[in-house]
Structure 1
Amino acid sequence: MRLTQAKIERIRRINAQTIHLELGLIDEALYRIKPGQTLLARLVDASGEPLAWDPYLREQWWPLGMTGQNTLLVERPANPRYEPGQYVSLLGPIGEPYRFSQRAKNILLIAYDADPTPLTIMLTWLLRNQLNVTLVLLGRARHYGTDHLSAEVEVIRGEDGLEWDDMVMTLGWADQLYAVVAPDDERQNFKALLDMLLDRKVVIPQRFAYGIFQPPTVCGTGACFACALRMSNSSRPRLTCTDGPAFDLLNVRLD
């Protein structure tokens, strides 16, 4: 993990809620950043001084990967404070990449009342590796525009709760599942998701259902334990910033 500085070269709106930031002057250490690894970012001036202290903590940015012009593409909620020419202080990479079973052919992605960005950033990698992908958008995630996504991605817009048409068939089709939920109470929301899976699927094997946890990240190094998760299979907590962000939901204590 390194502290570096980049510059916003271009901004492109991809839907009503979301933009892509193209960052130049990227440190070579970030060229090999992988889906699932994130950056802790703060807008700064050319000398590296913060433009503002609100928010106080650095923001967690989700990179899509490098472009052919040696710029780094990042997906962010649309915000008028982003402008081309601004400098960004970056700390990272944070966390571990997403991991997929070698036997997995069908990947199910579920966004429940949450921004699906932590899921959509893996789509290019999944399609490049010839995996079949279904993206289910539930609750407020239904409003996420998907016209910019590849036609190879099946998109299902469900209900306000954890239901959608033919959900039993979709769950049976999936070899592996990744999900994001509303951050207001991640553990309870992931518990609701896991309970739904247990009700609809006869057996939930290990390494099938992964939750992508997004607690506020304070240090990014594992020193403060602010992002610690209690595990059901170990007395040692796991840290979202160093071991995450994705964890097998069967191994996380969600009570």
Structure 2
Amino acid sequence: MRLTQAKIERIRRVNPDIWHLELGQVDESLFRVKPGQTLLARIVDDEGETLSWDPYLREQWWPLGMTGQKTLLVERAANPRYEPGQHISLIGPVGEPYRFGQRAKNILLLAYDTAPTPLTVMIPWLLRHSLNVTLVLLGRARRYNTDHLSAEVEVIRGDDDGLGWPDQVMSFGWADQMFTVVSPDDELLRFGELRQLALERKVAIPNHFIYGVFQPVTVCGTGACYSCALRMSGSARPHLTCVDGPAFDLLDVRLD
């Protein structure tokens, strides 16, 4: 992980709510960033000085990977403060890549009351490797515009309030692996609800089947502050989201 600087070369609006930022002058350490790894970003001037302390902490950016023009593609919510030519201070890559089972063919993605960006960033990689993808949007996630996603992705919009969607038993039975993301306001509670739902809808939940992608406020990104620590079953040592995550097997996390 390194402190580097990049420049917004191009901004592309992929739908009314989502922009893709192309970052040029990217350090080679980020050329091989993988799905699941993130960046801690802050807008700076051309000399690297912070332009604003709002937000005070760096933002967590989810990269989609490199383009053919050797720019790093990042998905962000549409925001007028982003402009071509701006310089961005980056710390990264942060965390570990997502882990997919060698025999997995069907991947179920589920977003509950939050934007599914931590999940959608893995979709291009999954499709390139001929995996089947279903994206379930629940609660506030239902408002996420999916026009920019590949037509190969099945999108299911479930209940506006709660964890319901059609044919749940079929969805769980079809999936070889499941990745979920929830509103950061109370991740342990919401991930607990999803884990319980999976236990009720599937005959048996094997290890490495249902993962939660955690999004705590990241202070250091190096594992020094322990603000993102998670308690794990059968382990006295906490796991750190910024170092060991962001995805954890929900059967291992102590969600109580």
State the SS of the aligned residue for 1:55.
coil
Aligned partners of 2:204, 2:123: CA distance in 1, in Å?
A: 27
Aligned amino acid, residue 44 of structure 1: V
Task: Give the alignment of 1:35-184 within 5 angstroms.
Answer: 35-159=35-159, 160-184=161-185
Q: Which amino acid aligns with 2:197?
A: M
Q: Which residue of 2 aligns with 1:205?
A: 206
Is the Cα contact below 8 Å between 1:8 and 1:22 reproduced in 2? Answer: yes
CA distance in 2, matches of 1:241, 1:175: 26
For 1:241 and 1:52, the matched residues in 2 are separated by: 24
Alignment partners' CA distance in 2, 1:183 and 1:208:
22
5+ residue gaps, structure 1, are none
Report the secondary structure of 2:118's partner residue.
helix
CA RMSD of aligned residues (A): 0.6
Whole-Å separation in 2 of the counterparts to 1:88 and 1:24 = 10
SS in 1 for 2:233: coil
1:110 touches 1:137 (CA, 8 Å); kept in 2? Answer: yes
Q: Which residue of 1 aligns with 2:191?
A: 190
TM-score with structure 2 setting the length: 0.98
> Partners of 1:203 and 1:8 in 2: how far apart?
47
Deviation, 1:147, is 1.2
1:17-67 alpha-carbon deviations (Å, 9 max, x no partner)? 211111000001100000000000000000000110011110000000000
TM-score normalized with structure 1 length: 0.99
Task: State the distance in 2 between where 1:112 and 1:90 align.
Answer: 28
Q: Secondary structure at the match of 1:162?
A: coil
Match of 2:244 in 1: 243
Counterpart contact for 1:15–1:144, Cα < 8 Å: no
State the Cα distance separating 1:16 from its structure 2 match.
Answer: 2.3
The code of the aligned residue for 1:181 comes to: V
Quote how far apart the aligned CAs of 1:167 are. 1.1
Three-state SS of the structure 2 residue aligned to 1:130 is: coil
> SS where residue 189 of structure 1 aligns?
helix
Structure 2: 5+ residue runs without aligned partners? none
Distance in 1 between residues matched to 2:106 and 2:29, nearest whole Å: 32
- Aligned position for 1:221: 222
Report how many aligned residue pairs link the two structures: 255
Give the secondary-structure state (helix, strand or coil) at the position aligned to 1:250. coil
Counterpart Cα distance in 2 of 1:77 and 1:146? 13
Provide the rounded CA distance (Å) in 2 between the counterparts of 1:11 and 1:161.
35
Is residue 36 of structure 2 the alignment partner of residue 23 of structure 1? Answer: no
Q: 1:8 corresponds to which letter in structure 2?
A: I
- Which residue type is aligned with residue 129 of structure 2? N
Deviations 1:138-193, CA, capped at 9 Å, x for gaps: 11111111111111111111002111011110110000000000110000010011
What is the SS of the residue equivalent to 2:251?
helix
What percent of counterpart residues are identical? 75
